[in-house]
Amino acid sequence: MQQEKKTAIDAIEQKASLVCEVADHIWDYAELSLQEVRSAALYCEVLEKEGFHVEKGICGIETAFSASYGSGRPLIGILAEYDALSGLSQEAGSLVRKERISGGSGHGCGHNLLGAGAFAAALGIKAFLERSSCPGTVILYGCPGEEGGAAKAFMARDGVWRDLDAALTWHPEDVNEVETGSSNSCIQVQYKFTGMASHASGAPEKGRSALDAVELMNIGVQFLREHMSDRARIHYAITDAGGCSPNVVQPRASVLYMVRSNHVSEAVELQARVDRIAEGAALMTDTTFERKFIDGLADTVTNHTLERVLYDNFSALGVPQYTKEELEYADALAKTYPGSEGLPGVAAENDEKLREEVAVLRKEYGHAMNAFLAPFYQGEAFKAGSTDVGDVSWLTPTAQIHVAAWPNGCPGHSWQNVSCDCTEIGHKAAVHAGKVLAASAVELFLHPEILEEARKEFEKRTAEGYTCPIPADAVPVIPD
């Protein structure tokens, strides 16, 4: 291995116990979206101790931070997340559903590992920059509220990502791979209608029904669906139907709308039409409404140039290896959910030939953990879900990897994930992700011409310009 990369990898190995300790503390705190006070404080504390320049509460978000080291360009950002999910408290390393805290939350998306792996990468890159004559700066961004907060999009609105030469990140998964492809943009707005309560039979003429307004709004949107592009989606949930008494004209009712498209500019336009339908519903029912912007995020812009760098480094470093006990645990955990026999990863999903390759790799390894690197897929992929990494990718070349942290097919946001996220399997994923990201960043620092190429691809893919889905006056909202 190249000496510069070895410097970064050795530093991560030396700090591996610190990385895992941090991952376990964050797992234990299990703080929800935009409430990650202890988690963010822990990162800021260890990063300061490790010699990073830390800025807390950036973009007016209490639990967001940046930690930088180095000077001058290139400027490479590493993205960390650390929020948990409600209702998923779970014992670690367990094969049965067993809450640690009744009704508590848990790291069902592995963000305790995600943050720790990003932290590991930053430590490795810092070690390289310290010992190299190469100019450059690494910034670890603490990005809270990924689960329903879209903090990265708010940070995008406030101009955070635009100055970076590249952003790298990862996510725990059931597979080792370079992630690629686009995703859906998504905007959430809540409409709260207010009418007038009245006896529904005795004085109906005095009543103004907020529930009628919600129903008419839903009908209006139903007609809109015929006149939008096939790539758009609109979902809703009635979050307050105004009570349970039919003999009371409902004075209040609320509906939460989610508008999606694989182009953020289209989602923003469509969302404005939904606003006008709400106005129409209020007019028809003689009610008023309050519009509350919840969050918005953009679709993801792929960068094949950076993905190639990630793949080459992943390939050179190999994948996490497991002990017999770890494999037995993962095999047993996989038996606790159905569908654990599917084929993982973006390559298997999009390419027939690569799908066969993945099938062979899985069969050869013969365990629930996928201890192989999935083949490299460089076609144009698309996933219908949404992530706020999208907003980063519209402002700087961005790429990400997945590292196996769970058995094959392990359902997202499940107790099985929480259980696995505080075991050696999870630790290995975080440390390994740190190594792949650090080695890739070192390559970019040493070869700025790759960054130039990535920039050219980025400019081509984002020629239409970024439409920020976050209004100028919106503030992040803690989800209900």
**Burial (Cβ within 10 Å: 0-12, 13-18, ≥19) of residue 449:** exposed
The smaller minimum CB distance to Zn ion, of residues 181 and 448, is found at 181
Name, in order, each residue with C-beta under 8 angstroms of 359's C-beta and a sequence gap of 6 or more.
343, 348
Residues 208-267 close enough to bind Zn ion by CB under 5 A = none
Contact of 19 with 119, CB cutoff 8 Å: yes
Q: How far is the CB of 447 from Zn ion (least distance, A)?
A: 30
**Candidates 92-100, 102-110, 247-255, 370-378; binding stretch for Zn ion (CB under 5 A):** 102-110
**Candidates 104-112, 242-250, 290-298, 315-323; binding stretch for Zn ion (CB under 5 A):** 104-112
**Candidates 6-14, 63-71, 101-109, 350-358; binding stretch for Zn ion (CB under 5 A):** 101-109
**Location of structure tokens 């700090």:** 15
Q: How far is the CB of 151 from Zn ion (least distance, A)?
A: 13
Q: What is the DSSP letter of 225?
A: G
Residue with nearest beta carbon to Zn ion: 109
The smaller minimum CB distance to Zn ion, of residues 109 and 399, is found at 109
How many chain residues are in contact with Zn ion, going by CB under 5 A? Answer: 1
Name the phi and psi angles at 343, rounded to 5.
Answer: -100, 130
Residues 328-357 close enough to bind Zn ion by CB under 5 A = none
Q: Residue 399, SS3?
A: strand
Q: Number of C-alpha atoms within 13 angstroms, CB side, residue 358?
A: 27
The smaller minimum CB distance to Zn ion, of residues 375 and 407, is found at 407
The smaller minimum CB distance to Zn ion, of residues 4 and 83, is found at 83
Residues 107-126 close enough to bind Zn ion by CB under 5 A = 109
**Burial (Cβ within 10 Å: 0-12, 13-18, ≥19) of residue 91:** middle
**Candidates 103-111, 315-323, 330-338, 369-377; binding stretch for Zn ion (CB under 5 A):** 103-111
Name the phi and psi angles at 297, rounded to 5.
Answer: -145, 155
Name, in order, each residue with C-beta under 8 angstroms of 236's C-beta and a sequence gap of 6 or more.
218, 221, 255, 256, 257, 258
Residues 419-458 close enough to bind Zn ion by CB under 5 A = none
Q: Is 40 in the site for Zn ion (CB under 5 A)?
A: no
The smaller minimum CB distance to Zn ion, of residues 172 and 476, is found at 172
Distance separating alpha carbons of residues 8 and 438, to the nearest angstrom: 6
- Euclidean distance between the first and the last CA atom of the chain, given in angstroms as a whole number: 49
Q: How far is the CB of 171 from Zn ion (least distance, A)?
A: 6
The smaller minimum CB distance to Zn ion, of residues 4 and 295, is found at 295
The smaller minimum CB distance to Zn ion, of residues 100 and 413, is found at 413
Q: How far is the CB of 111 from Zn ion (least distance, A)?
A: 6
**Candidates 105-113, 222-230, 322-330, 442-450; binding stretch for Zn ion (CB under 5 A):** 105-113
The smaller minimum CB distance to Zn ion, of residues 109 and 438, is found at 109
Residues constituting the chain: 480
Contact of 222 with 306, CB cutoff 8 Å: no
What is the pattern of x (binds Zn ion, CB under 5 A) and - over residues 18-37?
Answer: --------------------
2-16 CB burial, b ≥16 within 10 A, e <16:
eebbebbbebbeebb
Q: How far is the CB of 147 from Zn ion (least distance, A)?
A: 7
Q: How far is the CB of 247 from Zn ion (least distance, A)?
A: 45
Distance separating alpha carbons of residues 178 and 244, to the nearest angstrom: 50
Q: How far is the CB of 110 from Zn ion (least distance, A)?
A: 7
The smaller minimum CB distance to Zn ion, of residues 115 and 207, is found at 115
The smaller minimum CB distance to Zn ion, of residues 24 and 173, is found at 173
Structure token pair of residue 88: 């998923």
**Interface contacts to Zn ion, rule CB under 5 A:** 109
